[in-house]
Amino acid sequence: MVKYVGPSLDATFAALADPTRRAIVARLGEAGPSQGVAVGELAEPFEMSAPAISKHLRVLERAGMLTQQRDGRVRRCRLDPTPINEASRWIEHHRAFWNNQLDALADFLEGPNKEDAAHD
Amino acid sequence: MVKYVGPSLDATFAALADPTRRAIVARLGEAGPSQGVAVGELAEPFEMSAPAISKHLRVLERAGMLTQQRDGRVRRCRLDPTPINEASRWIEHHRAFWNNQLDALADFLEGPNKEDAAHD
DNA sequence: TACATACTTAACCATATGGTTAAATATAAG
DNA sequence: CTTATATTTAACCATATGGTTAAGTATGTA
């Protein structure tokens, strides 16, 4: 199969498909555009080994959602919002689209004897 | 690991992490709230075996995004927008949050000598 | 220099994905 | 009843995930 996924929708949605990573993303979001949050700090809430966290961070990194920079022996993580913005665009586009259609159906089902139905 | 994921954010984002499934979702969205689209019709654009499509559909089904109903020997698929609506809510919440913070940072960086900076 | 801190990398295991082909199932049609 | 159509299930394979423990690596500190 060997399908390359760079900073793509594939990688972004896959990265968001795990609760630990979503929590990390949320945490980094709360931290805002600061100097970044240390890996150890990010790891703290989770009952999980350090390597497990490290792997999650690499998944986020490969999705382009996270960058790391060294600060002494500490690595600080920051969010790059671009991939999620793109994912958001995709999802919003389609969500809005078919919800509108569902609304149209609801209107039709609920008011075929009202004036809306007179349109055709 | 054996982690149960029902119609959850996990399953929804995972389902969206594949281009074939996103295309299927898009197709079903375009079809709107109709009687549904036949599996064969959904499969048509893809150079992929029928079982491959069938598996994709089951991933979407387990995520609660798709329902199937038999119509003779044809199975018709319809979208259930609920899971994506929830995913959209999550993503929009966090996206909006940190983009606002980024904007705040931009404002700060760009206007520390303007009146905005006078607030503290 | 020696040791602790903060991580990552390596090696391993189990399960899920994403694909294949081949076989089963269900319905329609001849 | 036989055959074609539509789709799933079974069995298999390779790779990715999500976790583990054990071993590196890099930096700060005594």
Mean pLDDT is highest, among A67-71, A104-108, B94-98, B108-112, for A67-71
pLDDT at B56: 96
Cα angle value A13/A19/A21 (rounded, 5°): 65
Please report, to the nearest 10 degrees, the dihedral formed by the alpha carbons of residues A95, A58, B2, B24 taken in order.
30
> What is the Cα–Cα distance from A114 to B89, expressed in whole angstroms?
33
Q: Which two tokens stand for residue A39?
A: 């890996």
Same domain, B31 and B14: yes
Strand ranges (E), chain B: 37-38, 66-71, 74-79
A30 close contact with B: CB closer than 8 A: yes
User: A66 in helix, strand or coil?
Assistant: strand
Residues B50, B55, B58, B63, CA torsion sign: negative
Calculate mean pLDDT across residues A35-59. 94
In a domain, B1, yes or no: no
A23 close contact with B: CB closer than 8 A: no
Instruction: Give me the residues near strand C, CB below 7 A.
Output: A 1, 38-41, 43, 50-51, 53-55, 57-58, 68, 73-75; B 1-2, 14, 17-18, 20-21, 47-49, 51-52, 55-56, 59, 70, 72-73
B89 close contact with A: CB closer than 8 A: no
Q: Which two tokens stand for residue A117?
A: 């139905």
Q: Which two tokens stand for residue A61?
A: 């990194």
Using CB atoms within 10 A of its CB, is residue B78 exposed (0-12), middle (13-18) or buried (19+)? middle
- What CATH number is attached to the domain comprising A63? 1.10.10.10
Q: Which two tokens stand for residue B70?
A: 């038999």
Distances (CA, A) of A8 to A53, A60, A83, A120, B87: 22, 12, 7, 43, 18
> What is the Cα–Cα distance from A90 to B88, expressed in whole angstroms?
10
In a domain, B52, yes or no: yes
Same domain, A96 and A59: no
Same domain, B43 and B101: no
Question: Domain limits at A32?
Answer: 9-80
Same domain, A17 and A59: yes
Residues B26, B31, B34, B39, CA torsion sign: negative
Total structural domains within chain A: 2
Same domain, B44 and B103: no
Q: Note down pLDDT in tens along chain B; length 120 residues.
A: 333 333 599 999 999 999 999 999 999 988 877 788 999 999 999 999 999 999 999 999 999 999 999 999 999 999 998 999 999 999 998 887 776 666 655 555 554 444 443 333
φ, ψ for residue A101, nearest 5 deg:
-65, -40
Chain B (36-75) residues lying within 8 Å, Cβ to Cβ, of chain A: none
Query: Binning pLDDT at 50, 70 and 90, where does residue A86 land?
Result: very high
